[in-house]
Amino acid sequence: MTQLEHARAGRATAEMKAVAAAEPIAEADLVAAVAAGTVVIPANRNHRHLKPAGIGRGLRTKVNANIGTSGDFHGIEDERRKLQAVLDCGCDAVMDLSTGGDVTAIRRDLLARSPIPFGNVPVYEMMVDAPRQGTPFVSLAPGRMLEYLRRQAEDGVDFMTVHAGLTRRAIEQLRRRPRLAGIVSRGGSMLTAWMLHNDRENPLLERFDDLLAIAREFDVTLSLGDGLRPGALADGSDWAQLEELLTLGGLVQRARLAGVQVMVEGPGHLPLPQVEMNMRLQKEVCGGAPFYVLGPVVTDVAPGYDHVTAAIGSAVAGAAGADFLCYVTPAEHLGLPDVQDVRDGIMASRIAAHVADIAKGLPGAMDWDRRMAAARRRLDWDAQERLCLDAERFRQVRGRRATQTDACSMCGDFCVYKVLKDIDA
């Protein structure tokens, strides 16, 4: 049985008990939320040593980091170092998006080392591995696609991005109303190529019931991908994106009926005023399913700083109800991230997640800031270091320009907290 099915039967699993203990939610309320599908707990029954995390309404906003190889950089050691950075930075989940080297071996290696929920995009492994076995992706039979997916589920992948909502009808919308940036999802572009080449409907949609059966068997949480997410502000909230969202809403219902946990992915690139509308629309159309947003990046002109542009969008999205933030690194749109990019991307997303938790009124979120402000006023540097999101960064910056005073080198003896220390102001 899946977490969803246990919850419907009114049973709290070990995973639900662990999540309830770590979050500001009563166990019974969590069981009810999992049963309703507003919270998912990605926990494949074959993923050993997993520390489960809950994603959804009423819980802390979670952060995911994408790692993985490319054709140019395919060393496993680099990816192991990135995974370690993901764990060191307190990230909640990780996805392997490898497209270079032995992608099956790399996935298995990283999964075995990950105590946090581990996700992937099954199509990536198909598009890399199938041609090596002599079959170009566009010639891959739907049955073989499901074999790949089943092997990944069997190996213990906790959540999978499947672009099952990308339909021929939605692609037709793109033809009628052309976009500036076209299709920017790799999985979406591969499936579109398959559909056009074979003049057939999306195989993941046609075989959705078979896909659900695999997901249910291993309790893989489906993350319904948005293959037509906008890749430029100019394409935000366009017809094709919304057409796909409506299909995803229907697939959420089918997944829930089949006892499969499901969340939904969202944009992408959006102008800031459209972010809140997109969050509310998704929640409405998808029956309150947890929303996993990719940024969104809120301007296209800052490559090198897209961890910042995405964090701005993520904070607004989170405040409006997004539950799961996919980080964006400074390397986005420029190259494969290195370890420092991974760290910078995670910390920017964690800041956005906490900002969102305060805005959501999550119990305890604001208290953290109160404690930090009190420590700052006391000039209690040890407490500030303990309370800050990134203690290593705190030490680096504070140590760079030391002071002879008990304040910091910005104002020294003119520190407002020193000047007013003996006055009750």
Q: Does 408 bind ligand SF4 (CB under 6 A)?
A: yes
Shortest distance, CB of residue 366 to ligand SF4, whole angstroms? 21
User: Which of the stretches 15-23, 109-117, 203-211, 413-421 binds ligand SF4 when contact is defined by CB under 6 A?
Assistant: 413-421
Decide: residue 273, CB within 10 A, 0-12 exposed, 13-18 middle, 19+ buried. exposed
Query: Which is closer to ligand SF4, CB of 196 or CB of 373?
Result: 373
Query: Which is closer to ligand SF4, CB of 242 or CB of 415?
Result: 415
Query: Which is closer to ligand SF4, CB of 277 or CB of 420?
Result: 420
Q: Does 372 bind ligand SF4 (CB under 6 A)?
A: no
User: Which of the stretches 53-61, 142-150, 280-288, 404-412 binds ligand SF4 when contact is defined by CB under 6 A?
Assistant: 404-412
Which residues have CB under 8 Å from 235's CB, separation 6+?
179, 180, 181, 241, 269
- Candidates 410, 422, 424, 425; binder of ligand SF4 (CB under 6 A) is 410
- Candidates 181, 193, 372, 411; binder of ligand SF4 (CB under 6 A) is 411
User: Which of the stretches 4-12, 104-112, 286-294, 402-410 binds ligand SF4 when contact is defined by CB under 6 A?
Assistant: 402-410
- Candidates 162, 315, 356, 407; binder of ligand SF4 (CB under 6 A) is 407
* x/- map, 209-238, ligand SF4, by CB under 6 A: ------------------------------
User: Which of the stretches 7-15, 312-320, 330-338, 414-422 binds ligand SF4 when contact is defined by CB under 6 A?
Assistant: 414-422
- Candidates 415, 420, 424, 425; binder of ligand SF4 (CB under 6 A) is 415
Q: Does 91 bind ligand SF4 (CB under 6 A)?
A: no
Shortest distance, CB of residue 400 to ligand SF4, whole angstroms? 13
Shortest distance, CB of residue 315 to ligand SF4, whole angstroms? 24
Q: Does 416 bind ligand SF4 (CB under 6 A)?
A: yes
Shortest distance, CB of residue 406 to ligand SF4, whole angstroms? 9
Instruction: List Cα–Cα distances, 274 to 24, 62, 320, 349, in angstroms.
Output: 30, 22, 11, 20
Query: Which is closer to ligand SF4, CB of 333 or CB of 377?
Result: 377
Shortest distance, CB of residue 229 to ligand SF4, whole angstroms? 41
Backbone angles phi, psi at 102, to 5 degrees: -85, 90
Query: Which is closer to ligand SF4, CB of 138 or CB of 411?
Result: 411
Query: Which is closer to ligand SF4, CB of 105 or CB of 416?
Result: 416
Q: Does 419 bind ligand SF4 (CB under 6 A)?
A: no
User: Which of the stretches 10-18, 45-53, 391-399, 406-414 binds ligand SF4 when contact is defined by CB under 6 A?
Assistant: 406-414
Q: How many residues of this chain bind ligand SF4 (CB under 6 A)?
A: 7
- Candidates 24, 393, 417, 420; binder of ligand SF4 (CB under 6 A) is 417
Decide: residue 166, CB within 10 A, 0-12 exposed, 13-18 middle, 19+ buried. buried
Query: Which is closer to ligand SF4, CB of 234 or CB of 397?
Result: 397
Residues that bind ligand SF4 (CB under 6 A): 407-408, 410-411, 415-417
